[in-house]
Structure 1
Amino acid sequence: MTDNTRFPKMRVARSSRNFEAIQRFYCTGLGFSLLGSFEGHNGFDGLIIGHPDAPYHLEFTRQQGITAPVAPDEEGLLVFYLPDRVDWQKRVDMMRKAGYEPVQSNNDYWDVDGITFEDPDGYRVVLQNRAWSN
C-alpha cells in the first residue's frame, strides 16, 4: 500500500474569463465537482473544481477589474490518463452530450490514443486512453 501522505497534492491555478462556462465544461462535461468557491478574497474570486478524493484540483480565478487573457497557444494542455476503454468512452460521450466537440491536437501524438477538447478559455484537455507510465 502506498503512503499517499508522502506525495505532494497538486493545485493547478489559472485565471478564467468566464466562470459559468468553465464550471459547465469541467463539471457537466468532464464530470468534476465544484469543491469550493470564494469571492472578494484580496480582490479575487475563484472556483475550485476537482474530485473530492483526488490528490489534485483546479482553481480558476478572476481578478476584479481585470479581463483574463485567452490561452497563449494550443500546447496549454491538461492530460488525463484513462486506461479503461469503457471509462474513457464514457467521458468522451459526456463531453459530446454536454455540447463539446473534439478539436485536432496541435501535436498529433495526442490524437493516437486520445481526444482533445478546448475549454472556454482556449486551454485544452486531452482524454488519453492509455495507462500512465513514468
Structure 2
Amino acid sequence: MNEPAKSAPVLRVARPTDNIDALVHFYRDGLGLELLSRFDAHNGFDGVILGGRGAPYHLEFTRAHGHTAGRAPTQDNLLVFYLPDATAYGEARDRMQAAGYAPVKSFNPWWDAEGVTFEDPDGYRVVLYNDSWKR
C-alpha cells in the first residue's frame, strides 16, 4: 500500500531589520516578491512578510521596538534564487536595476560565473543565478 503524499514544508526565512520600508522596496519592487502581510506593534514587533502566494517559501522581516538589528555580519550571507530560464533571469536582473539596485561583486566568485548579486539595505545579499540546482 502506498503511503499518503505528505505536503512539502513551507520555509520561512525570518530576520530582524532596522529598515522595514527599505527592505519592502528591495524585495517587492526590485526582486518582485509580493507583500503578503504587514503588522505593527504586535507584541512589540513591527514586520512584513513577502513571497509569492502559494510559494513554498516566504521572507519575514521584523523590527523589535527598542532594539537595533544592525547589518549583515559578512558579505557571504546569501539568499540564492535559481532561475534556469534565460528570459526570467534577465527580467529579474533588469527589474532589480530598474528599482535602483546595482550589482555587486560576489564574495564567492562562484556566484558571478552564471549569476548576479545584489545587496539589500541591511547588507545581506541576494543572488539571481541563471541555472537550475542540480542536486
What is the TM-score normalised by the length of structure 1?
0.95
Q: CA deviation at 1:132?
A: 1.5
**In 2, distance between residues paired with 1:48 and 1:87?**
23
1:20-39 deviation line (CA, Å, top 9, x unaligned): 11000000001111000111
**In 2, distance between residues paired with 1:5 and 1:103?**
40
2:22 is aligned to 21
In structure 2, the residue corresponding to 1:133 is in which secondary structure?
coil
**In 2, distance between residues paired with 1:120 and 1:110?**
20
Judged with a 3 Å threshold, the aligned counterparts in structure 2 of structure 1 residues 4 and 21 are, in CA distance, closer, same or farther, namely farther
Give ranges in structure 1 of 5+ residues lacking alignment: none
Give ranges in structure 2 of 5+ residues lacking alignment: none
Q: Supply the AA of the counterpart residue of 1:26.
A: Y
2:132 is aligned to 131
**In 2, distance between residues paired with 1:4 and 1:15?**
35
1:56-115 deviation line (CA, Å, top 9, x unaligned): 000000000112110000111000000000000000000011110000000000000000
Aligned residues: 132
1:44 is aligned to 45
- Are 1:99 and 2:97 counterparts? no
Q: Which moved more, 1:53-62 or 1:34-43?
A: 34-43
**In 1, distance between residues paired with 2:22 and 2:90?**
23
In structure 1, the residue corresponding to 2:87 is in which secondary structure?
helix
**In 1, distance between residues paired with 2:6 and 2:103?**
36
Q: Percent identity?
A: 54
2:55 is aligned to 54
**In 1, distance between residues paired with 2:75 and 2:106?**
8
What is the TM-score normalised by the length of structure 2?
0.94
Structure of larger gyration radius: 2
- Are 1:78 and 2:79 counterparts? yes
Where in structure 1 do 4 or more consecutive aligned residues deviate above 6 Å? none
Q: Supply the AA of the counterpart residue of 1:33.
A: E
**In 1, distance between residues paired with 2:61 and 2:5?**
25
